[in-house]
Amino acid sequence: MNRRGWKIGELARRVGITVRTLHHYDHIGLLSPSSSTEAGHRVYSDADVRRLLSIISLKRLGFSLREIKVLLSDAAEDPRAMLQVQLARLDEQIAALTEVRAHVQRLHDHLEVGGSVAIEELMAVAHALTLTGSPHFRRDEVEQVRQKYLGLDPAVRRELFETGRRLVAEFRRYFDAGIAPDAPAVTALARRWKEVTGSLLPAGEPLTQAAEQYYRDNPDAGLLYGMDVDLYRYIKQAASRV
């Protein structure tokens, strides 16, 4: 037991998060230091640390901070409730990874008999693994994208991949030049963008919001395609006018 409590910087280092994150948790009422030193400095008790470890665990399973707050409140009444929710989320992730594994196995078997696999297929596998492990997307959203993608002819998939990269490059050129998203040229580009993405992505505001948060939290995730969160917002603004 740590009788003196944990100072914020010390705790942040020990659990591998930032002081800013702990301040945010305090601000939203998710986790606040419950003890004080004789000098009046707020410190985290051992109970606070246990709560923080639960928060970190739930966050890694993909729960939002709002959901975590509710889960921890329920767990105070019945600790089994939180464990049941964690088990359910783990089952979802295991099922999703099993599906991705099956696709990887099919690609492997195809290579074993002398076939070839396009680089786009390998990129798609890497992207599927990223999305499956991401807390930003629900399993059904990932599955919808996967089914749409696999349902396309390989030649069509390659064409869409290259078209998407060209469109992103054009959006980037307009964005860097400071051209407004409602400019006629950008609007025309956005119209083509919606046609291409509509071939792969299910429509819906929740998926759009999830993608925005994903790029915000993972700024390097779209660099292969030239995408980042600022460019994504620019494209979204342009597409909203189509």
Q: DSSP secondary structure string, 206-226? A: HHHHHHHHHHHH-TTTTGGGT
Closest C-alpha among 91, 92, 48 to residue 72: 48
CATH number for the domain formed by residue range(s) 8-77:
1.10.1660.10
Q: Is residue 107 classed exposed, middle or buried when 0-12, 13-18 and 19+ CB atoms within 10 A define those classes?
A: middle
Q: Where in the chain is the domain with CATH 1.10.1660.10?
A: 8-77
How open is the CA angle 196-200-206, to the nearest 5 degrees? 105
Please name every residue paired with 6 in a beta bridge, in sequence order, or none if there are none.
Answer: 44
- Contact criterion met (CB below 8 Å) for 11 and 52: yes
- Contact criterion met (CB below 8 Å) for 31 and 25: yes
Token pair, residue 75, equals 């767990």
pLDDT in tens, 156-193: 877 877 888 889 899 999 999 999 999 999 999 999 98
Mean pLDDT of 220-242: 77
Mean pLDDT of 213-230: 66
| Gap between the Cα atoms of 105 and 92, Å rounded | 20
pLDDT in tens, 55-103: 998 888 878 888 889 888 888 778 788 888 888 878 877 877 777 787 6
- pTM of the model as a whole: 0.50
What band does 1 get if pLDDT is binned at 50, 70 and 90? very low
* Rg from Cα positions in the chain: 22
